[in-house]
């Protein structure tokens, strides 16, 4: 027995190291897929449902994928369909999924080898955007500690308020913890049947959730960089500055337009007072970062609001964050490139730094590949459901951007359409570029470069 233990651990470590060397992204996808399989198996048990009967496999798989990818789309009512055990499993899936695909794979390497090796450091550095490999081990621990601390803070703020709503301390604590984890991880799951609708005008409940969602959507590199240089903003990295300014701009832009579109809508904002309307508008402007919470019926919103939300969801949040989408830095780099081209500048610059051309190429590739996934999935759902394009596009982008907002039709999806959105949520969370790298057979390197010739553009 003494010899067998180290032998198994050694072989497991060799497998992880070899997989990480050959294709880190493929290893990450394998690990993340394994997590979804485990959560699916747990949710498929009779003890996971309130009725005591095993759910259909597709409902367990869809919910497991939605929770693990911190999306929030549901095909069954979360608060009433699942038992306490089922809700705990969903909460654990949200927590694990929020740590990130690459971070999760690195934690597997730590568990097997009791330390982070070079390959695992390379693996997690691609997710966290850390370039100094010596920092990665401490960074993983910092990510876990920081995220948990922020979730606890949100829960502590919500706890007394929920208790004021005639909830006993145990129930209030459970709801506070669930919303704390779900908010910071941009998951959008709610433990009650009505969700946040009863709190549409309650600043005490909604503001901690808004702040938690926004901070979670910035990404761990930004959170740690800002925390270390809180009093010296000039020392913030270019990534942090672009992420924060672009995110704030999108929130302000989205909130103002949602208020303008919905102010007189009797199905959403019109019955609310001025204070509640301002809060609901801010809430609706922040949630497309990838959170998926809602305080009004999204299905009653105007089509113009749906289209605006589509655009905000597609962009999503920050890189290496709990949010999905193409990421705000992707949008920022492309906008800066357009400005540079309009000015006739040779370089793309921001905050006294020059952005390399490779960053622009990756931004364009991510945007086009993402748009292609959305297009193909929309065509499939149009053929499967017979719904109108505005509804289908909203659901598809929400799934791909791991947002979780819905017009209310997700529960009525036919089984094939549920599988389409399940795959789309997985792709959206792991990232289009990560998926492409995982499926690539080899890296293509060319020694000889062809002569340059510029085609006519536009």
pLDDT digits (tens, 9 = 90+) for 258-288: 999 999 999 999 999 999 999 999 999 999 9
So where are the chain's domains? 4-437
pLDDT at 77 over 80: yes
Q: Which of 26-30, 92-96, 116-120, 290-294 has the lowest mean pLDDT?
A: 116-120
Average pLDDT rounded to a whole number, residues 421-430:
92
pLDDT at residue 224, as a whole number: 83
pLDDT digits (tens, 9 = 90+) for 376-399: 999 999 999 989 999 999 999 999
Dihedral of CA 150/152/157/158: which sign? positive
Higher confidence at residue 252 or residue 386? 252
User: Exposed (0-12), middle (13-18) or buried (19+): which is 162, by Cβ within 10 Å?
Assistant: buried
pLDDT at 118 over 60: no
pLDDT digits (tens, 9 = 90+) for 128-185: 555 454 555 666 777 788 889 999 999 999 999 999 998 999 999 999 999 999 999 9
Percent of the chain with pLDDT over 90: 62
Average pLDDT rounded to a whole number, residues 435-440:
53
pLDDT at residue 1, as a whole number: 44
pLDDT at residue 104, as a whole number: 59
Whole-number average pLDDT of the chain? 85
Percent of the chain with pLDDT over 70: 81
pLDDT digits (tens, 9 = 90+) for 170-229: 999 999 999 999 999 999 999 988 899 999 999 999 999 999 999 999 988 888 889 888
Q: How far is CA 60 from CA 91, 144, 412, in A?
A: 14, 27, 15
Q: How far apart are CA 202 and CA 212, in angstroms?
A: 16
Average pLDDT rounded to a whole number, residues 289-298:
92
């Amino acid at each position: 027995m003494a010899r067998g233990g180290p032998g198994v651990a050694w072989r497991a470590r060799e497998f992880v190291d070899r997989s990480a060397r050959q294709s880190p992204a493929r290893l990450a996808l394998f690990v993340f897929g394994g997590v979804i399989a485990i959560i699916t198996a747990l949710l498929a048990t009779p003890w996971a449902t309130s009725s005591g009967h095993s759910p259909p496999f597709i409902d367990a798989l869809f919910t497991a994928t939605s929770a693990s990818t911190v999306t929030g789309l549901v095909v069954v009512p979360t608060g009433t369909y699942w038992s306490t055990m089922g809700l705990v499993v969903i909460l654990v899936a949200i927590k694990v999924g929020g740590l990130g695909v690459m971070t999760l794979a690195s934690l597997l390497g730590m568990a097997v080898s009791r330390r982070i090796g070079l390959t695992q450091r390379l693996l997690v550095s691609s997710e966290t955007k850390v370039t100094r490999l010596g920092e990665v081990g401490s960074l993983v621990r910092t990510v876990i500690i920081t995220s948990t601390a922020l979730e606890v803070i949100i829960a502590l703020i919500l706890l007394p308020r929920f208790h004021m709503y005639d909830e006993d301390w145990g129930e209030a604590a459970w709801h506070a913890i669930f919303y704390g984890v779900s908010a910071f991880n941009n998951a959008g799951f709610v433990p009650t049947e009505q969700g946040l609708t009863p709190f549409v005008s309650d600043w005490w409940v909604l503001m901690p959730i808004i702040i938690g969602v926004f901070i979670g959507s910035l990404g761990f590199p930004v959170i740690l960089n800002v925390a270390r240089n809180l009093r010296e903003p000039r020392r913030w990295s270019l990534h942090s500055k672009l992420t924060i300014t672009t995110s704030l701009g999108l929130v302000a832009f989205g909130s103002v337009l949602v208020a303008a579109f919905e102010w007189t809508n009797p199905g959403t904002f019109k019955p609310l007072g001025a204070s509640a309307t301002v809060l609901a508008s801010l809430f609706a402007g922040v949630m497309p970062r990838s959170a998926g919470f809602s305080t009004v019926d999204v299905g009653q919103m105007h089509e113009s609001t749906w289209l605006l939300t589509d655009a905000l969801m597609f962009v999503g949040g920050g890189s290496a964050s709990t949010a999905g989408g193409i990421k705000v830095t992707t949008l920022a780099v492309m906008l800066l490139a357009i400005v540079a081209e309009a000015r006739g500048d040779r370089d793309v610059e921001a905050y006294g730094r020059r952005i390399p051309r490779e960053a622009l190429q990756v931004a364009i590739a991510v945007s086009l590949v993402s748009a292609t996934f959305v297009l193909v999935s929309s065509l499939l759902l149009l053929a499967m459901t017979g719904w109108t394009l505005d509804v289908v596009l909203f659901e598809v982008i929400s799934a791909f951007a791991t947002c979780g907002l819905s017009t209310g039709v997700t529960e009525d999806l036919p089984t094939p359409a549920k599988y389409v959105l399940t795959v789309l949520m997985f792709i959206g969370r792991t990232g289009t570029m990560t998926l492409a790298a995982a499926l690539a057979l080899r890296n293509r390197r060319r020694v000889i470069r062809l002569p340059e010739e510029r085609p006519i553009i536009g």
